[in-house]
Amino acid sequence: MEQFSITKNCTTLFHGFPLIDLSKPDSKSQLVHACEEFGFFKVVNHGVPIKFMSELESEAVKFFSLPLSAKEKAGPPDPFGYGNKKIGSNGDVGWVEYLLLTTNTESDYQKFASIFGEAAEKFRCAVNDYLSAVKKMACQILEILADGLKIQPRNVFSKLLMDEQSDSVFRMNHYPPCPEIDQESNGGNLIGFGEHTDPQIISVLRSNNTSGLQISLKDGNWISIPPDQYSFFINVGDSLQVMTNGRFKSVRHRVVTNSPKSRLSMIYFGGPPLSEKIAPLPSLMKGEDSLYKEFTWFEYKKSVYNSRLADNRLGLFEKIAAS
């Protein structure tokens, strides 16, 4: 694993994964290459004000520092709200507590009024400011990717996030300081959030300066991603993999906890409207056969919620190649 920056195929690799400066004119080819080879990259000069990042982190720290009995007033997740250790409804667990919010934030805040009182409005404003800036960056990245793929119109991906009916989700994860664990088991790591791919189009992640995120490379090896509280990490989601007919790869990732420090992360999952048909874009096919059956986002989301985290959830929607 590279411990320094190198340039490979015109893409800067940092600790073995792509680092992309969104302000540079050559970011287009770098973004496409990163999505093809890794399904993951780090972005700098992203345009999201540090003030929005730090204010939301401060509000999240306040919430997760509350007594469990107070936090549980915002749960259980149905699907939105506060959850603790249990991830989904199919037996996945992790060393994590979390808040899951719809990006239509108005509908969530009744749950928080009883916990925060008058401070609920400050929490809501911090989430809204952060989300509007992060969503803008996600759309910018998707439009640069469309340019790089020579697709018209250039908002073919971003319009799905901008749609009023966009089914996007915002998640704040808190991984508490880790108890003493058996160093022999799992290399001394405790699973914070098990390995999985994200089902949506694109995910935008930011964390505090505590490590834990790992991604799986094409060869199946896992590499640790050094934290950077001022940058963002982007995951290609399953839906974008399908829309590019497998050219872009959704990245398998996980979080391990082995730190005496707590880790806080916040993730915007940009999703399409529930009724949107997810299929390879005809302009990218060039005579190729589709690798996937067409499905709506609602159908795929329902299938994902009925699966385990580590399942190959796109497998059910792949066309079986004729032998």
Torsion, Cα 87 93 97 102, to 10 degrees, reads: -10
- Is residue 211's pLDDT more than 50? yes
Average pLDDT, the chain: 88
pTM over 0.75: yes
Q: What is the pLDDT of residues 135-175, one digit of tens each?
A: 999 999 999 999 999 999 999 999 999 999 999 999 999 99
Percentage of the chain with pLDDT > 70? 88
Q: What is the pLDDT of residues 282-320, one digit of tens each?
A: 999 888 899 999 999 999 999 999 999 899 999 999 987
Of the candidates 323, 312, 321, the one whose C-alpha atom is nearest the C-alpha of residue 290 is 321
Q: What is the pLDDT of residues 241-267, one digit of tens each?
A: 999 999 999 999 999 987 788 999 999
Q: What is the pLDDT of residue 196?
A: 93
Mean pLDDT of 208-214: 92
Question: Quick one: three-class SS letters along 76-143?
Answer: CCCCCEEEEEEECCCCEEEEEEEEEEECCHHHHCHHHHHHHHHHHHHHHHHHHHHHHHHHHHHHHHHH
**Pick the catalytic residue: 252, 263, 308, 313?**
263
- Is residue 62's pLDDT more than 50? yes
Maximum alpha-carbon separation in the chain? 64
Residue 206: active-site member: no
- Which of 12-16, 178-182, 209-213 has the largest mean confidence? 209-213
Phi, psi at 278, each rounded to 5°: -105, 115
Under a CB-based contact definition with an 8 Å cutoff, are residues 237 and 199 in contact? Answer: yes
Q: What is the pLDDT of residue 103?
A: 86
- Is residue 321's pLDDT more than 60? no
